[in-house]
Amino acid sequence: MTDPAPATLPRLRTVSVLRTDDRYVVTLDRPAARNAINAAMVADLHTVCGLIESDPAPVVLAGAGEHFAGGADIGELRERGRDQALAGINRTLFDRFAALPLPTVAAVSGYALGGGAELSYACDLRIAAETAVFGNPEPGLGILAAAGATYRLPALVGESVAKQVLLAGHSLDAAAALRCGLVMDVVPTGEHLAAAHRIVDRITASSGLALRLTKAIVSGTGRVEDVAQAVLFETSDKRDRMTAFLEKRNRR
């Protein structure tokens, strides 16, 4: 990991963000609440996404303290109604996080449950400490895992394991998460953040443009029109034709 580079970073309430020369380190910072995802954290993470979108770099995402994120804030969730559900508050954020231009690595220790699990699923890669536990217990609270688990988890671990988690309330400890491919590696407790940085070290040695295009294609967010347009934008033919058009218009 390189030394921090000068940057203007926003003041956030529930998340800390560090921008170095070649990456972001984003930390969910409500350790007393097991980093439960509340409305303030959703707003802070949208701010972070805007920052990363305007100045792309790989991301390491972690939780302060022992846990990654123990779920959504149940007190807030209890008061949400139909309109909030239709707005897809957490899903919209996690979809935005998943669409960040360059690779994201979740460094997971302790609980990654409910919305916390779904945020980790939205990352491209996951590293687990031996203490890590992934689960989606939402049906036990009378709701469903509606912030991405129903489509991301089957893609990550297969339909059978996803159904065990989403329907049977089965949780995946670090060893099970490794067996089913949910995590890239399991490391001793306390070493997950360093392991995530080692992955980003390898990522940053690659071509940034190649990584962006590869992520877009693999995740299905790439549009062939955009790639084709990018090729055409770099041609002299495009510049010549547009120059001729502007000169002809100016002569009128």
Q: What is the pLDDT of residue 1?
A: 47
Residue whose pair of structure tokens reads 């962006």 in the numeric block = 212
d(CA 43, CA 106): 19
- Between CA 161 and CA 87 the distance in angstroms is 28
Domain ranges of the chain: 15-205, 208-251
Which long-range contacts (C-beta less than 8 Å, at least 24 apart) are formed by 209-214? 211/102, 211/103, 212/56, 212/101, 212/102
Task: Identify the pLDDT of residue 159.
Answer: 98
What pLDDT sits at residue 58?
A: 98
What are the residue numbers of the active site?
118, 138
- How much is the pLDDT for 5? 42
Strand 133-135, strand 59-63: pairing? unpaired
Tokens 């547009």 -> residue: 242
Q: What is the pLDDT of residue 72?
A: 83
pLDDT at 8: 56
Q: What is the pLDDT of residue 223?
A: 67
The residues of the chain scoring below 50 in pLDDT are: 1-7
- Say what the pLDDT of residue 3 is: 44
Whether the predicted model's global pTM rises above the 0.85 cut: yes
Fold annotation for 15-205: 2-enoyl-CoA Hydratase; Chain A, domain 1 (3.90.226)
Instruction: Show the tokens assigned to 104.
Output: 């994201």
Q: What is the pLDDT of residue 108?
A: 98
Query: pLDDT tens digits, residue range 191-223?
Result: 999 999 999 999 999 999 899 989 988 887 666
pLDDT on residue 77 = 82
